[in-house]
Structure 1
Amino acid sequence: MKILLVSVNASYMHTNIAVRDLKNYADKYFENIGEKPLIELAEFTINQPVGQVLRGIASYGADWIQFSTYIWNAEYVTKLLPEIKKVLPDCILGAGGPEFAYGAEKYLSSISDLDFVVFGEGELTFCDMIEKSGGEAKNLLPRLKDIQGLYYRNAQNAVEFSGNRKLIENLDDIPFPYPEILTGEADADHKIYYYESSRGCPFSCAYCLSSVEKRVRFKSLERTCSEIQIFLDHDINLVKFVDRTYNLDEDRYIGIWKYILAHHNGKTMFHFEIEAEYLSQKALSFLQNVPAGVMQFEMGVQSANKKTLAAINRSTNTEELSSKIKGIPRTIHQHLDLIAGLPYEDLESFGRSFDFVMDLRPDALQLGFLKILGGTVMEKYASEHGWKWMESPVYETFSTPYLSFDDIAFLKDIETVTDAYWNKGTFERTMSYVFRFTSPWAFFCSLVEYGRKVNAFSQARKESYWFELISSFIIEEKCQLLEKALDKKLIYDLLRYDFVRAGKKGNFPAWYTHNYSKENHRKLLDENGLLENSRIGFSITEYEEFDYDVSAEKPEERKGHRSLLIRYK
């Protein structure tokens, strides 16, 4: 019997830890009893044509095919499943993961070729299924009712559930998920490797499926550190902890950080999802010693409206949250999350939440839109209180009693300009100056209104376009929000500086005035020891002249002709 575990990822850079855990756990389990089954993994992306993925799956000739599903791949998998049995008519088809698990009845009722859905943790259920199949996939279907943790169809074609299965108590029993790293087959520089050191979440956020399993189980500190060392030894570029809330046990989570800091290889970045409000003073003190390039934090603010936070079962202590985030050193890359579409939050309230987050100056503000997930408290609340949302994945909110569909569309454009002008970091000098005179929310709202007039959001845009848009908005339209700014020429200088810093230019657009002197360029190359090979020196640098010291913290205080040599990597 050949079993194929399939993941369809959002992009090439993602890895799927779920299918690896199933395979590795089963390999270990059956190796101990001397009957190791043939289990293979296949990873694809939602960007590949369905026909290409179908050919890839068919090439394995598997008897049993099982998919890992999430909201981002559910539509793709739903299209793919009926095609598989056309080319592999005798195989059995199953799925697991949060999307199909919490929508099992819907998917089993609508996809006749789907034979079963795994609910909850899959490792023990997967092993039980293999045992009860007796090594023959065709024997499995009549025995599904005897295997806990499954949705299946009974003899009358009605969907039934076999009952909840017990959880794995000791997470150390789960093998390291990436044997390909150990064998040197990993793509260390281009893939994100997800890592799990705990399961469960003690919080009760109304919109989140993680709150369903409140009991938290941990891998031991010793085991976690030994696996971290594997990532370090093999120079993996980015490791993302998928623990729903990393900072729960102070001794443990600081212990992991201490190990990373003591053994860091100068390359690997570790990503953690943090509840910042619950960071201890001991943790904040430790973080002061973390250099750049070691850790990045994702922290969910979601809203600054206390009534909203109470409605979704989150802490309302925004003062404590703000204080803790400000206590995290800037050497740690910080992503802060907001969710649009929550209870009691209209555009005015959301604007205050937006400025609350931007006042903390995150490296990125991730603006998400409420997804009404089946099985969450929010699903019932939204149904009873007038929310409208997409009926198919990704279940995103269309409107609420507080936000119209047009309001949501406006926030989509706010998301676009936030990403372009803040999250990418390309406009860092310009935005830092602009936001000293106006709130980020007010500025981006005005920019969106202007952008809509000039059809800025009708298609995907290159980085150069966003420079052109903001240049015309600030300089030509004379943005009223910036009337208090000391000198529009300074903003123009900062904009030119951001543009030229962003990368070597083959030519300069119409809005940009390039103040260039080849003689002065050569002189600065000489002063910086880059003239030995003048061709290379010129190719990796740019020369520009400004009316202000654009690199100063307060450039308005340092007016005067400045010649700068910008060096590119």
Structure 2
Amino acid sequence: MKKILLTTLNSRFTHTSIALRYLYANLKELQNDAKIIEFSINDAIQTIAEKLLTHSPQIIGIGVYIWNALEVRELIHIIKKISPNTKIVLGGPEVSHEPFRVNLDSADFIIQGEGDEAFYRLCRDIFDGLANQRVIKMSMPSLKNVELPYKFYTDDDIKNRYIYVEASRGCPFECEFCLSSMDEKVRAFDIELFLSELELLWKRGARNFKFIDRTFNLNIKTANRLLDFFLEKEEMSPYFAHFEVVPDHFPESLKEKIASFPHGALQLEIGIQTLNPDIANNISRPLKLDKIKENIRFLENETNAHIHLDLIVGLPGESLESFGANLDELVSLSSCEIQIGILKKLSGTYINRHDIEYGMVYSDIPPYDVLQTSTLSFFDIQIMKRFSRFWDLTYNSGNFKESVKLIWQDESVFENFYAFSLWIYTQTDSTWQISLQRLGELLFKYLCEVKKIDAKDIAKNMLNDMMKLEGRVVPNYLKPYAENIEKNKKHGTSGFNKRQQ
């Protein structure tokens, strides 16, 4: 039995909570009385409560995020019904800034801000009967005093989940939609200590690292040290390292190292959000367009890195035409993954200053999506949510990477995919639970019947896309074309050489 339980509901099973491990690492003499128990939002809430209360804890600390706030509210309700004397302490972004849009009044204590040291002090006060302040507002702790959490990833975590790490906290930019803009400055952990912890993780078998630093390449000296760490491991075994980077800050020393990584080892996430200077100015986002384009071209043409670009629908003042121009531009620069998100109004951010001028209307239910603006109707945003989903299924998934380009060929990506997303929704009336077979059939049908492209040309592209993985079965709607290709191949008239089953 443990007196203190640390828990959260991760968005997926493969995720781990670095925050819980920071709290555990800094519990000092209370550590032996504490335990980390993680769940996912797909777990039944009553089962979660049962597994927690089995330990008869005196304190349960829960991390609250945009993806689990509603589930945490239900979890607190059940725990307090069954064990009213158990003290519940909440922390995390969803309770660090007001207003609280999810009712969490049943919680006993709330820590706002970085709780590495504050949670320990609160637990001690609870045990001593001295805790009397429900909401505890924290200033940022000195990172020199914070114990690192990495030894508390379990062997099971290392084997089955992503390992989250950070070399720094904070962001120097003031983008109004982002909670990181609330930080006063970027603070770095001791690089030597951090690298030694990274080495220990590596020796234990960790190979999937996701850096949560908001600006990995802000400090070039540190960025180079971290890239060197992984490049030195290149001959040992395959690995995956994910970094979020500033798009306009790639000096030659950094470019040289990024270009040295093998295929599949490095992923770089770049928050573009918009390429429209007026819209970027609205949200206080610096935008050095020439540098951004130059660096995306470099990453596309001279490296093996997997690139993930972000665009946001619904920014103050941005129209569909402006968003479409952004997408067209990015696709012209790179064939990489482009994540299309919907603007969210997070408590504590400054995005609310645009509400009146740009008619911004948001949902008060997580994830707090924008519902309409002065330039986008509710129906426009609904269409763009479906656009985003179908874009993920066809383009970002990689299943139809070349075939989907037949939708637009040399014309506007946005306008043509917009028309496709409208059409496919009329066929499915859903954006979920569409099998790969069904999706392929619909794409084939659209290209044949709407775009009037020759079926043989479509089939050749789709077979090249879909049969890249050895052992895939040729879908029924492509079998006649695959048989013809196989016949031609035997006569030396086709380069198609994928296995058909």
Which residue of structure 1 aligns with residue 283 of structure 2? 312
User: How much has 1:355 moved relative to structure 2?
Assistant: 1.0
Give secondary structure in 2 for the equivalent of 1:239.
strand
TM-score calculated relative to the size of structure 1: 0.81
Question: 1:508 Cα deviation (Å)?
Answer: 3.3
Q: Pick one of 109, 116, 132 that aligns with 1:144.
A: 132
Q: 1:360 to 1:50 in 2, by over 3 A?
A: same
Question: Superposition pairs for residues 415-564 of structure 1, below 5 Å?
Answer: 415-431=388-404, 436-455=409-428, 457=430, 459-479=432-452, 489-502=456-469, 504-506=471-473, 508-510=475-477, 512-516=479-483, 544-545=486-487, 561-562=493-494, 564=496
Contact 2:312 2:341 in 1 (8 A): yes
Gaps of 5+ in 2: none
Matched residue SS, 1:276? coil
Structure 2 counterpart SS, 1:84: helix
Report the Cα offset of residue 300 of structure 1: 0.5
Equivalent residue letter for 1:239:
F
**One-letter amino acid of the counterpart of residue 44, structure 1:** F
Q: Tell me, yes or no, if structure 1 residue 229 matches structure 2 residue 222.
A: no
Q: CA deviation at 1:166?
A: 4.7
CA distance in 1, matches of 2:35, 2:377: 47
User: Secondary structure at the residue paired with 2:8?
Assistant: strand
Equivalent residue runs for 1:159-558 within 5 Å: 161=135, 163-170=137-144, 173-181=146-154, 185-264=155-234, 265-328=236-299, 329-382=302-355, 385-431=358-404, 436-455=409-428, 457=430, 459-479=432-452, 489-502=456-469, 504-506=471-473, 508-510=475-477, 512-516=479-483, 544-545=486-487
Quick one: distance in 2 between partners of 1:191 and 1:516? 41
SS at 1:428 equivalent = coil
Counterpart selection for 2:109 from 105, 109, 116: 116
Closer/same/farther in 2, CA of residues 396 and 515 from structure 1, 3 Å limit: closer
Describe the shift of the 1:515–1:217 C-alpha distance in structure 2 as closer, same or farther (beyond 3 A).
closer
Residue of structure 2 in register with 1:552 after alignment: none
Contact 1:64 1:93 in 2 (8 A): yes
The 2-side partners of 1:546 and 1:95 are apart by: 65
Q: How many angstroms apart in 2 are the aligned matches of 1:547 and 1:315?
A: 53
Assess if the C-alpha contact under 8 Å between 2:258 and 2:303 holds in 1. no
Choose 1 or 2 for highest CA Rg: 1
- CA positional deviation for 1:227: 2.1
For 1:212, the aligned partner's letter is M
Report the more deviating stretch, 39-48 or 261-270: 261-270
Residue by residue, what CA displacement relative to the aligned partner does 1:238-279 show, whole Å, maximum 9, x if unpaired?
211011111111111111111210124332201000012122
**Aligned-pair CA distance for 1:330:** 3.6
Contact 1:304 1:353 in 2 (8 A): yes
Q: Confirm or deny: 8 A CA contact 1:221 1:252 kept in the other structure.
A: yes
Paired residue type of 1:120 = G
What is the CA-CA distance between 1:87 and the residue it aligns to? 1.7
Pair 458,566 (structure 1): closer, same or farther in 2 beyond 3 Å: closer
Q: Percent identity?
A: 26
CA distance in structure 1 between the partners assigned to 2:215 and 2:26 by the alignment = 24
* CA offsets 1:416-469 (integer angstroms, 9 cap, x no match): 221122111111232456654223213211211321332353542011112111
Q: In the alignment, which of 128, 133, 143 is matched to residue 121 of structure 2?
A: 128
> Match of 2:216, SS?
coil
2:240 maps to a residue whose letter is: M
Mapped to 2, the partners of 1:54 and 1:400 lie a distance apart of 40
2:407·2:417 contact (CA, 8 Å) conserved in 1?
no
Amino acid of the residue matched to residue 245 of structure 1?
Answer: T
Structure 1 unaligned residues grouped into runs of 5+: 146-151, 153-160, 518-542, 550-559
- Superposition deviation, residue 515 in structure 1: 4.1
How many angstroms does 1:80 deviate by?
1.1
Task: Check 1:78–1:281 CA distance in 2 against 1; reply closer, same or farther (3 A cut).
Answer: same
Query: How many residues are matched?
Result: 496
Please, what TM-score do these two structures have when normalized by structure 2?
Answer: 0.92
Aligned-pair CA distance for 1:393: 1.3
Q: Please tell me whether the aligned partners of residues 111 and 138 of structure 2 are also in contact (alpha carbons under 8 angstroms).
A: no
Q: Structure 1: which amino acid aligns with 2:141?
A: L
- The aligned amino acid for 1:45 is S
Contact 1:471 1:511 in 2 (8 A): no
Q: For 1:2, give the aligned amino acid.
A: K
- Compared with structure 1, are the counterparts of its residues 547 and 347 closer, same or farther at alpha carbon in structure 2 (3 Å cutoff)? farther
Misfit runs of 4+, over 4 Å: 104-107, 432-436, 545-549
State the 1:179 CA deviation: 2.5
3-state SS of the aligned residue for 2:497? strand
Deviation at 1:477, TM superposition (A): 2.6
Q: Secondary structure at the match of 1:565?
A: coil
Change in 2 beyond 3 A, CA 1:56/1:104? farther
Show the counterpart of 1:10: 11
Contact 1:298/1:334 (<8 A) preserved: yes
Structure 1 Cα separation of the partners of residues 432 and 258 of structure 2: 41
Question: Kindly tell me: are residues 395 and 289 of structure 1, through their superposed partners in 2, closer, same or farther at Cα, counting changes over 3 Å?
Answer: same
Deviations 1:37-56 (A, max 9, x none): 51111111110111111111
Change in Cα spacing, 1:330 to 1:446, as seen in structure 2 (3 Å) is: farther
- Measured after TM superposition, the shift of residue 511 of structure 1 is 5.0
Higher relative contact order (CA 8 A, sep 6+): 2
Aligned partners of 1:289 and 1:55: how far apart in 2? 50
Deviation at 1:106, TM superposition (A): 5.7
- How far 1:319 moved relative to its partner? 2.0
Distance 2:472 2:214 in 1: 43
Change (3 A) 1:296 1:44: same
RMSD in angstroms over aligned alpha carbons?
2.6
Q: Structure 1 residues 373, 114: closer, same or farther in 2, change over 3 A?
A: same
Structure 2 distance, partners of 1:200, 1:435, is: 40
